[in-house]
Structure 1
Amino acid sequence: MTLSPPFIVSAPGKVIIFGEHAAVFGKPAIAAAVSLRTYLLVTPSDSKDEIILDFPDIGLYQSWKSSELPWDVAEKYQQGKPQPTDELVPEIVSEIAKLLTDLDKTIFYAAASSFLYLYVNLCSRHSEGLRFTVRSTLPIGAGLGSSASISVCLTSALSLLGNHIKPAFLKKDDLTSDNEDSLFIDSWAYMGEKCIHGNPSGIDNAVATHGGAVMFQRMQSSIPSVRTTMRNFPPLKLLLTNTRQPRRTAELVSNVSRLTNEFPKTSSNILDAIEALTREAYNIMIRPFFDEAARNRLRELFQINHGLLIALGVSHPTLERARMLTDEMNVGKTKLTGAGGGGCAITLLNDQVEDEIMKNLKLKYEELGYETYETSLGGKGVGFLPFNNDVSFNPENFKQKTSNEIEISLGAQNDGWKFW
């Protein structure tokens, strides 16, 4: 039986906690879910032939007539339960592009093309008109996997509407494992990511779908990449700090490559050291118990990894200020995450940090122009929240809520959520 709206789905963002930059050279890296999430509300639209994508956080509001979508082309490739192809289908991409000629921003085009590609593959020409309202409590474009989180939300919602998966049933404290429905969501969310990024690693959508943490390693082109999942990695308190310092990932990666060419022995030792600590972190994170000693060990590995990344030249004064403040106030250990050169820092907080100290730290960051988010590392992946028939839900109210209000009223930590 096809699920009827209204309902909400949600998926987490991610941070890379160990191994960034070394991953480019075939070393393992670890990415983990964060409790900051994207939320997608699905409601009926006013017209049965109208589908609407409403994304107020980036200023996107776009509608299409369902009857004008390239159903004939899409149906040639999908017989029975839809299966993702190795690459995007050029015919479908071309037809969708004709519907997006009025979009004048790259971010709008990427979001709309991903949505329509997933819609024509996972729904049918007979689907009722619907409105898809996206809200993200993740900073957009900060290297935290926001696009994958959105792609996972769209995929899970459209898969439910197309009757390709069953509604989620696991509670927030239940153990999770791979299952047919979560793997289906993951595989199609990857196609949505291809619409946005061209050739994504698949790590962001895997973490957004399954939660927990993933160790991944890019092998030589002829050998498949290795992914090892840590589904039930327990949530840890994390402070995420966005320095708002722009950075160019390509330049940072290029500079590390230059160092490896000019100082091959030194650089090789640094990359080997990053690999060693990443593997040690993995061995800690897969333990069935996660005690104080394990948490302290991870904090030490944060500190070491950051020092090695400084040696590779990918830190920045804004990141060093963030790290020095957490050291001075003794709240935890801080490292850069992602490409570096600005962007975000993550602090694995000590077990007991007084509220007053955290308040003072946030004020100091605010004076520097930084944004801070108290979140957690690990936790659940994509989830589903139905609305009972006797509950009225106002989508405009959902649009107007602040990120904090969304997390309080609808956050995935609340009862009622189920997970795949």
Structure 2
Amino acid sequence: MYLVKVPLKVTLFGEYAVVFGKPAIASTLPTHIIMRVSKGDDKDFIHIKLSNISVPILSASINRDSSKVVKTLVYEPEVEKLLQYIIKAIHLCENELKPGALTGFNIEIQSPVPPSVGLGTSAAISVGSVAACLATYMSEERIDKDLIARIAWRTEQIVQGAASPMDTYTITFGGLRYIVPSIPRAEPLLMTKK
């Protein structure tokens, strides 16, 4: 089992400008989404359990081939987008790695905040899902943060239709970051005293 602790983020400057190619400044917060991820018994399914998160769903099983929710406990249609971040992140990770045999996943997510409050919960779930997928298929010392951020950003682009690299790169690398969207990375914000 892997325990993935993913920080949330706050945008200090450029919240919407970054989507249009302008720089932004964002920082991670000392508040985290916790993901417990283990291999599942059935390679065709990703089982998801949400704890302490304000969404009207407690658990779901998703068929990885069709991305269809096949079993839920308290299912609401608006929650499907949250689940799509997880399934798409794992799908993109597996496409990147091209492992011979796929595995199923059991994922439990604990979040101190609900989604859609502007703290990057979808990006944190995308980053955590990619990191857990990479850890499942390869040795931890080979995991590259740039790869995590890139796959998580692509996840956000597909699920949302458009996304800047701000949230995923800030969350992956942590700290106070200066983001130039045309260059998919988040540089540390350096300040010098003169």
Same fold (TM over 0.5): yes
Equivalent position amino acid for 1:109 in 2: E
1:25 CA displacement: 7.2
Distance 1:20 1:200, change over 3 A: closer
2:147 paired with 1:184:
yes
- 1:126 aligns to 2:97 (yes or no): no
User: By how many angstroms is 1:110 displaced?
Assistant: 1.3
When residues 116 and 286 of structure 1 are mapped into structure 2, their CA distance, relative to the original with a 3 A threshold, is same
Change in Cα spacing, 1:137 to 1:113, as seen in structure 2 (3 Å) is same
Aligned-residue offset at 1:189: 0.6
Give the strand-richer structure, 1 or 2.
Answer: 2
AA partner of residue 11 (structure 1): V
Q: After TM superposition, which residue ranges in structure 1, 4 or more long, deviate above 6 angstroms?
A: none
Distance (whole Å) between structure 2 residues aligned to residue 23 and residue 152 of structure 1: 19
Secondary structure of 2:117's match? coil
User: % of aligned pairs identical?
Assistant: 23
TM-score by length of 1: 0.38
The DSSP-based 3-state class of the residue aligned with 2:3 is strand
1:204 aligns with 2:167: yes
Which structure has the larger Rg over C-alpha atoms?
Answer: 1
Which fold has the larger relative contact order, with Cα–Cα distance below 8 Å and residues 6 or more apart in sequence? 2
For residues 307-364 of structure 1, what are the alpha-carbon distances to aligned partners after superposition, in whole Å with 9 as ceiling and x for unaligned?
xxxxxxxxxxxxxxxxxxxxxxxxxxxxxxxxxxxxxxxxxxxxxxxxxxxxxxxxxx
Unaligned residue ranges in structure 1 (runs of 5+):
1-5, 71-94, 169-178, 219-223, 231-284, 295-420
Per-residue CA deviation, residues 239-287 of structure 1 (Å, 9 max, x unaligned), is: xxxxxxxxxxxxxxxxxxxxxxxxxxxxxxxxxxxxxxxxxxxxxx513
2:29 maps to what in 1?
Answer: 34
Where does 1:277-292 land on structure 2 (aligned, <5 Å)? 285-287=189-191
Partner deviation per Cα, 1:66-104 (whole Å, 9 max, x = no partner): xxx43xxxxxxxxxxxxxxxxxxxxxxxx43xx248864
Q: CA–CA distance in 2 between the matches of 1:44 and 1:228?
A: 31
Which residue of structure 2 lines up, in the alignment, with residue 62 of structure 1? 60
Amino acid across the alignment from 1:119: I
Structure with the bigger percentage of helix = 1
Aligned equivalent of 2:187? 229
Residue 105 of structure 1 and its aligned partner are, at CA, apart by 2.0
Give the direction of change, closer, same or farther, for the CA distance of 1:227–1:187 in structure 2 (3 Å limit): closer
| Structure 2, unpaired ranges of 5+ | none
Distance across 2 between alignment mates of 1:138 and 1:216:
24
**Total equivalences in the alignment:** 183
Partner Cα separation in structure 2 for residue 44 and residue 180 of structure 1: 18
Aligned to 2:140: 167
TM-score by length of 2: 0.77
1:153 aligns with 2:128: yes
RMSD: 3.1
Closer/same/farther in 2, CA of residues 137 and 198 from structure 1, 3 Å limit: same
Question: How much has 1:20 moved relative to structure 2?
Answer: 4.2
Q: Distance in 2 between matches of 1:63 and 1:158?
A: 17
